[in-house]
Amino acid sequence: MTRDESERKARFLSAYDEQLRTDAETPGAINVTRHGPLRLVTFPNGRGFVTYQNLGATEEPALRRLVSEGSTYFQTDPEITKVEWKTRAHDTAPGLHEALLEHGFMPDEPESIMIGEATALAVDVPLPEGVTLRRVTEEADVRAMSAVEDATFGEPVLRETADAHLRRLALRDGMELWVAELGGEIVSVGRLEPVRGTSFAGIWGGATRPEWRGRGIYRALTAARARSALALGKTLIHSDSTEFSRPILERSGMIRVSTTTPYLWRRQPA
């Protein structure tokens, strides 16, 4: 890595920690409770979420107590069915992995924290013949998009996914839903999340049907969202990316500044 690349990475990571690890991280939350450095967040449909801006100089015994108390907060609420504890590789958190395992959290696949200039992504990308991009707002379109999103990520197609998107649209908080389609069939989807009061917009939920991958559609959908972000005054794009999307974003000029690993707890049936 060159000196310029190293400085750019450090600048992006600093902006990420300062601007995004706040309320900006949890749009659509029902409730946010502060517990020391922790943010204990409740979302619709029985979802809990734990995050923090930093853990400071928290030593292992204190960190273990925080895990125990954060876990108890959610596990004693019968409405909560699953909880995600979001960790970042660049945090200093001695004993966190072991403490999470002790309280029933299991690590999921790590993802890359990607950041880049919106102008680098907002380029013209040729699409396969007949494929078009558009922003969707109508309920029928949102439900069709959500079904593709669930199925592509290997999840059951749930009405609740679309309900959550529709609730967010009703808030008019800037979230945008985008699709690529051919002959009325949705082949790829993605979400744009402008972060109020920051330089950032997030690109999330990128999912392309397997038979349509490798044909430039995801990159084109990313470019469309980047252009929309620039129109809203956002200069930086961020995303937590799987190994499917990371190489595409890197080719577009985004860089990996760190990684994030979600630890998941699910309530077992009585």
Which has the closest alpha carbon to 226: 125, 112, 111? 125
Dist CA 226 CA 133 (whole Å)? 13
- What's at 181, amino acid-wise? E
CB 137 within 8 A of CB 177: yes
Instruction: Give the position of tokens 């558009």.
Output: 134
Q: Which three-class secondary structure state does DSSP give residue 241?
A: strand
User: What is the per-residue pLDDT for 20?
Assistant: 93
Domain locations in the chain?
22-112+260-266, 116-259
What is 125-160 written as a DSSP string? ----TTEEEEEE-SHHHHHHHHHHHHHHTT----HH
Predicted model pTM:
0.87
Percentage with pLDDT > 70 across the chain = 99
Q: What is the pLDDT of residues 47-86, one digit of tens each?
A: 999 999 988 878 999 999 999 999 999 999 999 999 999 9
Residue among 270, 261, 269 at smallest CA distance from 100? 261
Tens-digit pLDDT profile for residues 133-155: 999 999 999 999 999 988 888 88
* Contact assessment for residue 92 and residue 55, using Cβ atoms and an 8 Å cutoff: yes
CA gap 256, 113 in Å, rounded: 6
**Region 116-259: CATH code:** 3.40.630.30
In the structure encoding, which two tokens stand for residue 9, read together?
């990475």
- Which residues, at least 6 apart from 148, have a Cβ–Cβ distance to it below 8 Å? 179, 186, 187, 188, 189, 207, 209
- If pLDDT is split at 50, 70 and 90, which confidence band does 191 have? very high
Q: Is 49 strand, coil or helix? A: strand
Does residue 173 have a pLDDT over 90?
no
Strand duo 176-182 + 31-35: pairing: unpaired
Do 22-112+260-266 and 116-259 have matching folds?
yes
Contact between residue 85 and residue 231 where contact means Cβ atoms under 8 Å apart: no
- Of the candidate CATH numbers 2.40.350, 3.40.50, 1.10.3470, 3.40.630, the domain formed by 22-112+260-266 belongs to 3.40.630
Residue 241 CA to residue 122 CA, distance in Å, equals 18
Average pLDDT over residues 207-231: 94
For the chain, what percent of residues have pLDDT higher than 90? 75
Q: What is the structure's pLDDT at 228?
A: 97
d(CA 189, CA 182): 12
